[in-house]
Amino acid sequence: MFSNRLVNILIPTISVFLGLLVGAFIMLGFGYNPLTGYLSLWEGAFGDSYFFGETLRQVTPYILSGLAVAFAFRTGLFNIGVEGQVIMGWLASVWVGLAIDAPMIIHLPLVIIAAALAGAAWGFLPGLLKAKLGVHEVIVTIMMNYIALYTSNALVRNIISDGQDRTDRIPETASLTSEWLAALTQYSRLHYGLLIALFAAAIMWFILNQTTRGYELRSVGFNQDASRYAGMNVGRNIILSMVISGAFAGLAGAMEGIGTFGYQSVKGGFTNIGFDGIAVALLGGNAAIGVVLAALLFGTLKVGALNMPTGAGVPTELVDIVIAMIIFFVASSYMIRWFLLKMKKEGK
Amino acid sequence: MLKNRRSLLILTLLLAIGMVLGACGSSDGDSEDAEGSGSDNSNGEEAAGDDFSVAMVTDVGGIDDKSFNQSAWEGLTAFGEENGMEKGQGIDYAQSTSDADYNTNLNRLVRSDYNLIYGIGFLLAPAIEEVADQNPDTNFGIVDSVVEKDNVASIVFKEHQGSFLVGVAAAMKTESDKVGFIGGVDSDLINKFEAGFRAGVKSVNKDIEVKVQYAGAFDAPDDGKAIASNMYSQGIDVIYHASGGTGNGVFAQAKDLKQNDADRNVWVIGVDRDQHEEGQINDTNVTLTSMVKRVDVAVQDVSTNAMNGEFPGGEVVEYGLEDDAISVATTNEEAMTDEIKTAVEDWKEKIVNGEVEVPSTIDEVKEFEDSL
């Protein structure tokens, strides 16, 4: 009755549906009308071209941070450090953007490569520690997040700017913003980064599914011992996976640095792009196309949610609960999977 | 048997889903009324929009931060009450959960045709600058920062003056001759608090040691608690915090110490609002005083001016001691002895008269300290 592929699509869909449903009940429970609530969420995300642009703008870094988490997952690594890698990528893109003066055709690619390299470097270290010394990547990457946050703050404050809270704006030659897109969406901050994100998704699919190296990476993810027995260099694959994952995360940072904001500021806390990326990857089933779709959903929820307090009087916290519910149902997908398999058997 | 139990489980699950779906259907029924009332609401908003309407965008602190976002909303509410408006009808706010939300929220309010939109906090300055450029017909206000645009009024406070006065109070209260300052993020704005405080303390007694530490965040009470714990254990007995939510940890630590040893001499000086409530423990209170910054007064004032067609666009409106927009709380009468109050009043007069020039940057306060 259900093919495996269908089950893989059904589980996240049902999870999202159940999450929204439970969210609706919670809204009802607190005396809000869930329909006006969700309606204003929809309005806030797609109400007119401005909000649609902002939604796509929010989706862009989510795609990349989701890809970063998913890529490491496929090699059996849990990269919690995407957040830190995003911050380093953001910093690098802005720093190189400010430091170098060049025509756009050189400047822009240089800035993007710098961001990817910075993120990759931030992923390399945990990968190295895991491969050579067996230090668990979760612990190291969590710590690396804090190092990234405070390093970036110190550099912005003392080196890149003159004791200011944020850097100067990057020059046009290093910027992904486009007047054409802004005019099309009534001054939203939509930028060309979306194309980069989609391209990155295609690259991830290509690496993992069409190359020998990708086969090895996935094989290490399935079973390290078997891979070693088959003659693969497990350590090198772990490092490579973390480096590529970090590069995706660095690009996500660049989307914010040279796309949305155009500067880096002293941050009081994490951006949450990396942490949300974990949820995006989970919901997207760690596959490239799944991540793109999940990022679309999360971007919609995040931007749309901003309209819920003004549009329907529903507090933003409730939207966080809905998102948490969706993740909860994805994480407990075993329940849904079991149920679907049961139906499949009964069907036969 | 086993098979039976399984099918029973499936049946239960199916029933559960059926009920859930059924409930969903019934909520669909409600929706028509809901949509009706929804459109009513929007009509109401438009009706109010014919007159004058004001809205504000919070920074990530949110509307209930017990600090300046809350204070700003209190000012808007007071303005609304004066003019027969309420939330959603003439006045409203939008909360931000990350830096990226500022532009979106500002634009949403522009689209809802608000006449005047405030950005609360210096974090919103770049967003206000951008959005104000794109929407020259809407007026904006920015609190705690300066944006030079014709349709933006910049509201700033002379926090250094108030900090100077609480510094005087701290210097007179300390018994160990050691006081502390805990800042949120090391920035020009918070440096203003530090500079004023240091100058105030040293003006009373230049031998008093002032220890300064920045938590690096406005929303990290755990860090605030750790820093406060460290300071108190070094013998510091008065801490002034200018750190928003981080300061809640400072209060928590002071109260813990007081709880364990009621005779221990620990004090906290609050910021932005009168934080007397935060310091209450048993029958005593660890809040010595607070440097009160009346964001509400400023917001109400500027809104009223704007409604009367006197919007101070392109200007920097500065509020200080002389406008009563900066003041020192005296709620804790036991701790704020008459001696301290008199001293604070004396210094206040000197500042208002211009006899004392309070430093507002770190460089200035260094000079000030050297000149003593």
Mean pLDDT over A170-182 rounds to 90
A182-233 pLDDT per residue, tens: 888 888 899 999 999 999 999 999 999 999 999 999 999 999 999 999 999 9
Say if the Cβ atoms of B108 and A310 lie within 8 Å: yes
Whether residue B107 and residue A313 make contact (CB cut-off 8 A), yes or no, is no
Average pLDDT, chain A: 90
What is the Rg, in whole angstroms, of the alpha carbon atoms belonging to chain B? 25
pLDDT tier for residue B11 given thresholds of 50, 70 and 90: low
Mutate to test the interface with A, among B32, B33, B108 (most CBs of A within 10 A): B108
Structural domains of chain B sorted by starting position, each given as residue range(s) with its CATH number in brackets: 52-157 (3.40.50.2300), 159-292+337-371 (3.40.50.2300)
Structure tokens at A311: 């549009």
- What is the DSSP track for B327-365? EE----TTTS-HHHHHHHHHHHHHHHHTSS----SHHHH
Interchain pair B38, A36: CB under 8 A: yes
Question: What's the pLDDT score for residue B287?
Answer: 94
User: To probe the interface with B, which of A48, A187, A273 has the most B CB atoms within 10 Å?
Assistant: A187
Cβ-nearest to A187 among B30, B112, B134: B134
Interval B137-143 mean pLDDT: 94
Across the range A278-285, mean pLDDT stands at 90
Cβ distance of B185 and A263 shorter than 8 Å:
no
Phi, psi of B182, rounded to the nearest 5 degrees: -115, 120
Contacts of A269 in chain B (CB under 8 A): 60, 217, 219-220
Closest Cα in chain B to A257: B100
Q: Give A 166-205 residues with CB within 8 A of chain B.
A: 166, 187-189
Q: Do B111 and A50 touch (CB under 8 A)?
A: yes
Cβ <8 Å between A310 and B126: no
B50 vs B328, residue with greater confidence: B328
Domain ranges of chain A: 64-297
C-alpha neighbours within 13 Å on the C-beta side of residue A299: 25
Q: Are B85 and B48 in contact (CB under 8 A)?
A: yes
A169 — alpha (psi -120 to 50), left (phi > 0) or beta?
Answer: beta
Q: What local confidence, expressed as pLDDT, does residue B40 receive? A: 39
Q: Hey, are the CB atoms on B187 and A261 less than 8 Å from each other?
A: no
Residue A33 at interface with chain B, using a CB cutoff of 8 Å? yes
B35 confidence band (pLDDT: 50, 70, 90) = very low
A35 CA to chain B: closest CA distance, Å? 6
Taking an 8 Å cut-off on Cβ atoms, the answer to whether B30 and A33 are in contact is yes
For position B1, what pLDDT does the model report?
Answer: 45
- C-alpha count within 13 angstroms, C-beta hemisphere, residue A204: 35
Q: Between chain A and chain B, how many beta carbons pairs sit less than 8 Å apart?
A: 101
CA distances from B176 to A5, B170, B265, B369 (A): 72, 11, 9, 20
Among A50, A189, A310, beta carbon nearest to B92: A310
Using one digit for the tens of pLDDT, what is the confidence trace for B177-231?
999 999 988 888 899 999 999 999 999 999 999 999 999 888 788 999 999 999 9
Confidence grade of residue B60 (pLDDT, cut at 50, 70, 90): confident
Q: Do B216 and A153 touch (CB under 8 A)?
A: yes
- Rounded to whole angstroms, the Cα distance separating A224 from A76 reads 9
- Per-residue pLDDT tens digits for A31-73: 889 899 899 999 999 988 999 999 999 999 999 999 999 999 9
Residue A341 touches partner B, C-beta closer than 8 Å: no
